[in-house]
Structure 1
Amino acid sequence: MKQVNLKQQAVKKLKNGYPLVKEQDLAIPITQSEQDQLVQFCSNKNEIIGTGYLSAQNKGIGWVFNAPKFQWTKHELARLFQSAFHKRSAYFHDEGTTAFRLFNGEGDGLGGVTIDFYAGFLVVSWYNQFVYQEKAQLLAAIGLTDLKIEGIYEKIRFPHDTKLATEHVCGKEAPEPLVIYENGVAFATYLNEGWMTGIFLDQKEVRGKLVNGFLAGKTLLNTFSYTGAFSVAAAMGGALGTTSVDLAKRSLEKTKEQFSVNQLPLDNHDIIVMDVFNYFRYAKKKGKSFDCVLLDPPSFARSKKHTFSVAKNYGELVGEVEPLIAREGYLIASTNAANVSESKFKKMIEEALKSKQRVYRLVEHFQLPADFKVASSFPEGNYLKVFLYKLDD
């Protein structure tokens, strides 16, 4: 196995359990031919720090296994998977939630791979070339666990030669739509449609608050609404009305479908295909206001007239939507941008509210749910940040 020497600062991090190796951590830069293989990470004195692999992805250049003597065999991988699956056993006994994360990459000891459970089917996501080229062994390892499944889909989440971002791998093919449940609410999902399935499983606790009646008798503006999952959750929790706004044309039919699988009429629930910033201007002209506004934009987005990034523009987004939040209303501010710290995100929100002279109070704070296990030594793995504010309290 090839040895890769690290700078002293990186050695200290890895000894403390930090699992990610970045390009600047390497004592000597690696060539393309040295990537995508198992390696031993060493100090400049050739002390072995840990076993892992090199393979570029958006987070870094490689991962260290959390078990010092971990062996890359299907039986060792099966034990790793089985341990993670066992930790989620309570979810299998919850009839109201049939979709959740089973294996969360570095949080469960192996960076670069995630496994999601969708009502008897698995969605395995590969985040770099190494795990993708090793997929036969990784899938065989899943097969050695006691998990009972009907079929497996894969999603390739790194630049690659094949045109397919998703593919059915083995077993039965899932029905379309595959209806899953979360907090007792039905959601239509599609396992073989690109990178996304129709719902982001990491937001289950935020949707759960809505389902439990947080906005009962109130109105919600759901921006960047995708398939309208937040709107459906609010409606199931007794919301008086919802407005879902997204630029993508598919959002109209997708959101209608989510209401339909829950047998919810669309009375008082508007679905608007429009650039969110254009909608803000339209709503202000019409004198609209909402009891709650939910802002959950993509980390980066571009339309014909706007380029948006959470890191640069989230505060501006809050400022734009503030006039639409009713007196004593709520703001749910959310991002999954890993490059924005929790403190920076909170500061952007609150500075924008202050600039608009709105009094605010932080009511609740959400991070990743328990099935999205995060390594204590890798806090940036807890990428989800959601702040619920009460205004004019």
Structure 2
Amino acid sequence: MTKTIDLQVNAKNIADFKRGYPLILKDAIINSDVLTKEGTIVRLIDRDRKFVAKGYHGLQNKGIGWVLTRKEDEEIDFDFFASRIDAAFARRETQFEDLDTNAFRVFNGEGDGIGGLTIDYFDGYYMVSWYSEGIYSLKHHVYGALDKLVEYKGVYEKKRFDTKGQYIDQDDFVKGEQGDFPIIVRENGMNFAVNLNDGAMTGIFLDQRDIRKAIRDKYVDGKNVLNTFSYTGAFSVAAALGGATKTTSVDLAKRSLAKTIEQFSVNGIDYEQQDIKVMDVFEYFRYAKRHELKFDLVVLDPPSFARTKKYTFSTAKDYPALIADTIAITEKNGIIVASTNNASFSMKKFKTFIEQGFADAGSKFKILEESSLPKDFRTNRDFPEFNYLKVVIIQKLK
């Protein structure tokens, strides 16, 4: 039997937990100093020692743990994990049947009932990501559930934590057969090369699937496209397959060149007919202005925070300036795909950044569409702060 520790909840936070708030914040707990070892099962109680919820201790971002159940008699054991994972897989049944897409998320943390844990599917391979030492200490239940519930080619994991609760990125083969990487997965009929055992990233961000499809199907036919912070060029691939006359991919990371060439190549696209620039995006903006370059569609999907030798960029502070820079190299009636995965502000706040950028540039716009996480990245509607992705597709009017 796993040891359980009682944590007393501040009176002002009890209602939040009772209505389903999943993250245990340190400020919500009166006696958090009793916590020592991550992975400990915790029982949340009020000042009269009445049961509120049950979860586990694990350091992640602002939290010290996650609520797992509001049923006092439900044990946090193998059956608990198996039931949550089985239910999550059942919700994705239609996606497993989709012949055009075989890479997607099958378990999305707190949205599927276990905060700190995600599981992604890549054509028979599963990648399990652990976001705290606490949830990692319970891994035997998760891997046991996978063995019981699904057939797989192989399982990989990524540990995105250290003992101080900060993120690190490392990965490892767990069981089954090892992949011959890169493997080629399909997404809405497009091909992408992925590697599950080569550092923090796989080669594609699965949460942007709907946006890649929208770009390909609606916005790029006959257009000149710029993809900034391009990583492995997935948006550029979507644009080229959608009929773009030219794509330009810009990213500071040196490996982005080879990775982007690879993604073009697995789709039968002649990469030599596309521009791939290894350079700082902000330097490229200045270069484009000097050479009077204009684009019909620009993709902006920067990291939440980045530091180079010359710049420090934060989406929470610098996105309006990024929009203003983009406007200067966007054709009249051109499209800007503005995206961020920063969970610290809302969609409403993000749209004020866009408005400020256009106001600073003396330009006008209209919003064509907006979206957030795709359906496989399940979230709780009552707590939109966990739906971190915000994408707004904008048309520049002048």
Q: Could you state the TM-score of these two structures normalised by the residue count of structure 2?
A: 0.95
Q: 2: distance between equivalents of 1:215 and 1:105?
A: 34
SS of equivalent residue, structure 1 residue 304: coil
C-alpha contact (below 8 Å) 1:213/1:234 kept by paired residues? no
SS at match of 2:36: helix
Tell me how far 1:267 sits from its aligned partner.
4.5
Could you tell me whether the CA contact under 8 Å between 1:231 and 1:242 is conserved in 2? yes
Aligned to 1:49: 52
Partner of 2:271, secondary structure, is coil
User: 1:86 is matched with which residue?
Assistant: 90
Which residue number in structure 2 is paired with residue 143 of structure 1? 147
Deviation, 1:214, is 2.0
Checking the alignment, whether the CA contact within 8 Å between 1:19 and 1:378 is kept in structure 2 is no
Which one-letter code corresponds to 1:199 in the other structure?
A: I
Which moves more between the two structures, 211-220 or 147-156?
A: 211-220
Contact 1:179/1:186 (CA < 8 Å) preserved in 2? yes
Change (3 A) 1:96 1:67: farther
Match of residue 106 from structure 2: 102
Measured in 2, the distance between the counterparts of 1:7 and 1:160 equals 27
Structure 1: unaligned runs, 5 residues or longer: none
* Equivalent residue in structure 2 for 1:392, among 388, 394, 397: 397
Q: 1:218 aligns with which of 213, 218, 223?
A: 223
CA distance in 2, matches of 1:75, 1:172: 26
Offset, 1:376: 2.3
| Contact 1:213–1:238 (CA under 8 A) maintained in structure 2 | no
RMSD of the alignment, in Å? 1.6
Q: Tell whether 2:249 aligns with 1:244.
A: yes
Q: Which amino acid aligns with 2:100?
A: G
Q: Which moved more, 1:191-200 or 1:372-381?
A: 372-381
The residue type paired with residue 99 of structure 1 is: A
- The correspondence of residues 149-168 of structure 1 with structure 2, limited to 5 A, is 149-160=152-163, 165-168=170-173
Alpha-carbon shift at residue 175 of structure 1 (Å):
1.6
**Structure 2 residue identity aligned to 1:335:** T
Aligned with 1:30: secondary structure?
helix
Pair 1:113-2:117 in alignment: yes
Using the TM superposition, name which of 381-390 and 317-326 deviates more: 317-326
Change (3 A) 1:310 1:153: same
Shift of 1:350: 1.1
Amino-acid identity (%): 43
Secondary structure at 1:330's aligned position in 2? strand
**Which residue type is aligned with residue 61 of structure 2?**
N
Deviation at 1:40, TM superposition (A): 0.6
SS of alignment partner, residue 55 of structure 1: strand
> Alpha-carbon deviation of 1:34?
5.0
What pairs up with 1:317-336 in 2 under 5 angstroms? Answer: 317-336=322-341
AA aligned opposite 1:183: N
Which of 177, 187, 190 is equivalent to 1:185?
Answer: 190
Partner residue of 1:38?
A: 41
d(CA) in 2 for partners of 1:167 and 1:101?
A: 19
Give CA-to-partner distance per residue, 1:61-119, whole Å, 9 cap, x none.
Answer: 11111452432221221111011001000011111100000000100011010000000
1:133 paired to 2:142: no
1:181, 1:187 within 8 Å by CA — same for their partners in 2? yes
SS across alignment from 1:9: helix
User: Does the residue aligned with 1:383 lie in a helix, a strand or coil?
Assistant: coil
Q: Give me the whole-angstrom Cα distance separating, in 1, the residues matched to 2:248 and 2:62.
A: 35
Q: Is the 8 A contact 1:66 1:110 kept in 2?
A: no
Q: Distance in 1 between matches of 2:175 and 2:221?
A: 43
Give the corresponding residue for 2:202.
Answer: 197
Shift in Å at residue 28 of structure 1? 2.1
Residue ranges of structure 2 left out of the alignment (5+ in a row): none
1:203 partner amino acid? Q
Report deviation, 1:144.
1.5
**How many Å separate the matches in 1 of 2:173 and 2:272?**
37
Q: Secondary structure in 2 aligned to 1:230?
A: helix
Report the secondary structure of 1:94's partner residue: coil
d(CA) in 1 for partners of 2:395 and 2:345? 23
Q: How does 1:163-312 map to 2 (within 5 A)?
A: 165-312=170-317
User: Which residue, 363, 366, 374 being the options, matches 2:368?
Assistant: 363
For 1:382 and 1:164, the matched residues in 2 are separated by: 22
Are the equivalent residues in 2 in contact too, given 1:219–1:242 (CA < 8 A)?
Answer: yes
- Contact map agreement 1:183 1:211 (CA 8 A) in 2: no
Matched, 1:23 2:26: yes
How far 1:142 sits from its partner (Å)?
Answer: 1.6
Distance (Å, rounded) in 1 between the aligned partners of 2:46 and 2:344:
28
* Partners of 1:306 and 1:70 in 2: CA distance: 51
The amino acid of 1:139's aligned partner reads: Y
Query: In the alignment, which of 348, 352, 357 is matched to residue 347 of structure 1?
Result: 352
Match of 1:253, SS?
helix
TM-score between the two structures when normalised by the length of structure 1: 0.97
**C-alpha displacement at 1:297, in angstroms?**
0.3
Deviates more, 1:289-298 or 1:131-140: 131-140
Over residues 288-329 of structure 1, what are the superposed CA-to-partner deviations in whole Å (9 max), with x where a residue is unaligned? 000011110000000000000111111111112211001110
Distance 1:164 1:276 in 2: 24
